[in-house]
Structure 1
Amino acid sequence: MNIADRIQNLRKAKAISQEDLADKVGVSRQAVSKWESEQSVPDLDKIIIMSEYFDVTTDYILKGIEPALNNQGTHGVLTSKILYISSSAFLAIGLFCAFGAWYEEQTAASIWGSMIIQVVGAAGYFSGRLLSGVKASFAINWVNILLVAFMPISLIVAVCFGRIAAPYPTDIITGAVFAAIYLITAGLSFVLLRGAKRA
């Protein structure tokens, strides 16, 4: 593996585009493309910036030499990825359990267990952040926001219209208002997360 391969692998492992890397390093996208296709080699100052950004040593980028402690860092990244994915799964399971429990019993007490499952999912997400310091991907963050926002928006809309608070809209009026608010939430969170990723 050469410098071009290592830069490309590091970029793909971080799930960013050539344009994103170019922005972080302060070069054009074409420069990154040339690095990755072996048409040119980055200057030393750009290698230093990339080593800090990718949290690897300059020796790794230049020669492929990995420090002895790198396995612990990889373990932490893997652990955080597992926690992030499981957090989304728990949030989804909690939401669907709430739907099923409400459909069967239609009592507020029936959805408490579902909310606890969602709390476990949220705890898993924040544990992933604390254990490794690795940020979740854009997709995980956005999906988690959408899963967490669903029930509260539905409950608030129902209460505002004097309906029985339910984890999902139960009539056309609350359904239309819910859909509008949920789509606005989805759009705003998408824009804010994209902006935070570029910053």
Structure 2
Amino acid sequence: MGRRREFDVEKALDAVLCVFWRKGYEGASYTDLTEAAGVERPALYAAFGNKEALFRRALARYYERYLSYIPEALQLPTAREVAAHILYSAIDLNTRYPAHTGCLGINGVLAGSEDAEPVRQALIDARAAGEAQLRERFERARAEGDLPATARPDALAAFVMAVLHGMAVQAKAGFSRDKLETVAEQALVTWPVGSAS
């Protein structure tokens, strides 16, 4: 019979999530991760696998625990409301925790070594999936007349993602919630309106 784990795996995952959020994938040392989890390295590996596997679990946890505002936004009645809900919810998340500002999906690996390439690619894929969801929602908005017939759902989705990611970087750099809200307001001023709006 195997030995029972002597630590709470869920609490450990939450703790390492915060380390990755604050320091990124490569910036988080094994010492940082084990200290945060409160366990020795072998126990952490036994529970989660290697550092990459641990990061992927932490990223999944981040999406599950902190990004519920995205599916909520996709259900809103207008494309502008979708964009506004996402932008303002991201501002809240990016500035809510002073110890780990910004976004794990952006802070994770903006640039890294070749060893971090699989993690960087996983984050690119996750962001692309989010952009695809927005594009599909904006295509529906154009078909319903909420956006003008000339609107480009792909460009609008890319625009929202670019603003979102830029705000995450700025939050990490110390921008205040108020300043980020003025950025979101400015972005929404340019939002196209269809005949049905």
TM-score for both structures, normalised by structure 2: 0.30
Higher helix share: 1
Which structure has the higher relative contact order (CA within 8 Å, separation 6+)?
2
- TM-score w.r.t. length of structure 1: 0.30
User: Who wins on radius of gyration, i.e. which is larger?
Assistant: 1
